[in-house]
Amino acid sequence: MHAHISTRLLHAFIALHDCRHFGQAAQRCHMSQSAFSVTIQRLETAVGARLFERDTRKVALTPEGEMFIEVARSLVGEIDAAFNDMGDYLARRKGRVVIAALPSLAANGLPAVIAQYRAAYPGINVTLFDALSDQCLSMLREGKVDFALTAPGLDLAEFDTRIVCSDPFYLVCRRDHKLAGRRKIALKALAGCEMIHLSKSTSVRQHVDALLRDVATVHTGLEVEHLATVAGLVEHGLGVSLVPELTLFQFRSLDLVAIPVEAPDIVRPIFIVRQKNRTLSVAAQGMLELVEASLRSVGTRQRDIPGSRGARE
């Protein structure tokens, strides 16, 4: 739009075209007739051409006015649509939220939050990527997601982070395992146990290595990428595993036991991670607040599986 043409001038022009009378058009625009005449003159000056033929009996468009009326209507329509869209975004009737999250959260916890959010704001599109910590941070760094839910990583310093919950560890084993009857497991009790591990690229493995640093466990050589694989291996008696509380849902359908580990000083913190100095959209901010409120209540709920010990302690 030309620097000297405002929506006020455009609305005045359209009113005069529709009314073909200065007095009626001025009234429609809530202006005095003299002020309205000055407004039309300003528009013609900005356009650089006469837009109306005026005489005592009628007001008619010039050829340039006929050409400009379609332009004016289009511009006003686009501006009105833009403000209507902005209103929809601010009222969360439209918008998009993109989240990256660890698979354990993406499968257990976030679905309920997303369902709650979409029920309240059905016009907002929610996209969820389930990925390991490094992948979550890469997507955030590249601007592909609004925020990420992840465990500690090497590159968190460049982001705005805050802890929303802590994820303690459990021993998962078969019911016939020698440790299955215990209500809690001291780390030293794991000496001699055959361990099934997640891969070294996972945040879980990094914490498990810290837990077992001074414990003489037996490495079975089984290092896998997925918790479902861990569950299958444990079910068939190939070893035991240490997993965070938020992942226990993966073991519910199996005849296994989950026992809390006595290591309160070693937990897997879960972070909400955002880009620094970047304002979230209204839609994304609303989702973040809902996610944060939900995850902060995790500490009061146990993700136990049938047969887990200490679930009500």
Phi then psi for residue 105, to 5 deg, are: -80, -35
Q: Are strands 95-101 and 124-130 parallel, antiparallel or unpaired?
A: parallel
Q: pTM of the full predicted structure?
A: 0.65
Has domain 167-260 been given CATH number 3.40.190.10? yes
The CB-side HSE value for 246 (13 A sphere, CA atoms) comes to 27
Q: What CATH number has the domain spanning 7-90?
A: 1.10.10.10
- Specify the domain boundaries for CATH 1.10.10.10 within the chain: 7-90
Measure Cα distances from 119 to 6, 116, 122, 280 in Å. 40, 5, 6, 21
Superfamily of domain 95-166+269-300: Periplasmic binding protein-like II (3.40.190.10)
Output the CA–CA distances (angstroms, integers) from residue 84 to 15, 80, 156, 201, 261, in the order listed: 21, 6, 38, 47, 55
Contacts of 231 (CB under 8 A, 6+ apart): 172, 250, 251, 254, 256
Distance CA 287, CA 201 (A): 29
Q: Where in the chain is the domain with CATH 3.40.190.10?
A: 95-166+269-300, 167-260
**pLDDT values of the chain reduced to their tens digit, one per residue, 313 residues:** 454 667 888 888 888 888 888 888 888 988 998 898 888 888 888 888 888 888 756 788 888 888 888 888 888 888 877 777 776 566 556 688 999 999 888 888 899 999 999 898 888 889 999 988 888 999 999 999 999 998 876 667 888 888 888 889 999 999 999 999 999 999 999 999 999 999 888 878 888 988 898 999 998 999 998 888 999 999 999 999 999 998 888 887 788 999 999 877 778 888 999 999 888 888 898 899 989 888 876 543 444 444 444 332 2
Amino acid at 77: G
Q: At what angle do helices 7-19 and 33-47 cross, to 10 degrees?
A: 110
